[in-house]
Amino acid sequence: MASPLCTVNTLSTVDGVDVTAASTVSIELIDAAGVNSWEIECISTDDSNLKATINGTLTVDNITKTAEFTAPALGSAMIWRSRVNSGRDSNGRLDPSLTTTFGIYVLSAQGNRVIAVNETTEGSASFGWVVPINLILRNTILDITATAGAGLVYSAGEYFIQSTDSSINILADEIRLNPISAVNHANQTDPALHALATGAANGFLSSPHYSLLAGATPLATPEALVLRDISGYAAFARVYTPSLRTEDGTTSTALAISTGSASAGASGISSLASGGATGGNAGAVQIAAGTSTTNRGGDVLITSGGSGGSSQGGDVAINFVAGASGKYGSLAIGANTADDGGGEKVISIGNAAVLPTTNPSAGVIVYVESGALKARGTSGTVTTLAPAEPHCPKCGLDFALEWANPESGKKLSICAPCFVDALHDAGINTDFAFKDAR
């Protein structure tokens, strides 16, 4: 049997359907069997809409028995009528069952339905328009019994603001604060309102604290806060810190300790000194480059200063100062302590960890191999300067000098005792040049 019942956005129209403002809403006849013609239109709206406007957005497809329209704004209600076969049965008589109405709603901003003209049961199949009316009644304060404090007056369900101390100015559509008088500001009965700030409570700035802030300076002034100058610099007479590093820790910024330049005469001296001690050993001065987890470690560079004038560049000097006992220290290369053999102001060089295999391009390589001091020049010749090995293969003494060239494979060794013996055997008196104490 033909039926006018519809769905809205595939939802049942019983109790009405809520849709989204400005969305495209679809209406579809549930059962098109026995339906020759279908009429669908908005027949009533709330007080903020016109049915002609709603129907102006309506499109109907009588083949598929579907329709679409554009939903109005928030807080809208529409009553729609669906009629099939012009509302008449097969004998041409009017049949009320072939016509039905249903409600489509766009909720208000508060999430409530509003009412359309001539609405009966469209909003609720059981109670009709009573449901949205009771929702308003249950959530609206119609009459209350209330009391008001100082500055407020309650009358007939409304509060009225009063300016009892002239601190506010009540206008038709706003409330303004009047300027606070000096009397109202200064004469406080609660001393905590003007209390000085502490480490545990907010408050006012004391005069000593103000003087401390106002006296901030970029100069090295005792007992003054540090203030950077226009270049971001600040001076310190002395800085005590266990760590001094660049701000970002990246390789793009270097840390420089330098003295100021001078337009005439000598500039200052950069001093890097450890602390002394009244008991025990004094502190050490350590200059260490950074380590790397993937590449080579950092270099330690000690460079003297150049000269922009006619004078020579600066020297790099390593000096020793005697202690109270009169003894001096020594210089260790390749070790943390000097293997000085009891000497003072001597240089101790450790054995090379890896012997050089290529020649220097400009200069000489000095190293120690098995306790012997050797030098490798640009031609590849290795000269033993202070022999420890090898011993002479003929006499077994260690007075031998040796020259070797790994590139040519040639080697020359001269043993001084054997050389003297050969001169004696040849009848040559060597007393003028050699003193043999063997």
Q: Is the pLDDT of residue 375 over 60?
A: yes
Integer Cα distance of 184 and 193 in angstroms: 12
Q: Is the pLDDT of residue 126 over 90?
A: no
Residue at 208 is within a domain: no
- Among 89, 108, 138, identify where a domain stops: 138
- Among 106, 138, 170, identify where a domain stops: 138
Percentage of the chain modeled with pLDDT above 90: 25
pLDDT digits (tens, 9 = 90+) for 285-298: 777 777 777 877 77
The answer to whether 235 and 259 are in contact (CB under 8 A) is no
Q: Is the pLDDT of residue 144 over 70?
A: no
pLDDT digits (tens, 9 = 90+) for 318-342: 887 887 777 888 888 888 787 888 8
Q: Is the pLDDT of residue 139 over 60?
A: yes
Q: What is the pLDDT of residue 49?
A: 93
Residue at 369 is within a domain: yes
Q: What is the pLDDT of residue 308?
A: 66
Residue at 50 is within a domain: yes
Mean per-residue pLDDT, 305-314 = 72
Residue at 128 is within a domain: yes
Residue at 238 is within a domain: no
Q: What is the pLDDT of residue 179?
A: 77
Q: What is the pLDDT of residue 191?
A: 63
Q: What is the pLDDT of residue 225?
A: 92
* Structural domain for 50, as ranges: 6-138
Q: What is the pLDDT of residue 160?
A: 76
Mean per-residue pLDDT, 396-411 = 73
Residue at 146 is within a domain: no
> How many domains does the structure of the chain reveal?
2
pLDDT digits (tens, 9 = 90+) for 171-202: 878 888 777 766 666 666 676 667 788 888 88
CATH number at residue 89: 2.60.40
pTM of the model: 0.44
Residue at 143 is within a domain: no
- Among 119, 138, 157, identify where a domain stops: 138
Range of 17-31, 167-181, 276-290, 416-430 with top mean pLDDT: 17-31
Q: What is the pLDDT of residue 255?
A: 61
Residue with tokens 């203030």: 227
Closest C-alpha to 85, from 120, 39, 22, 51: 39
- Pairing outcome for strands 66-70 and 24-29: antiparallel
Q: What is the pLDDT of residue 70?
A: 98
Residue at 230 is within a domain: no
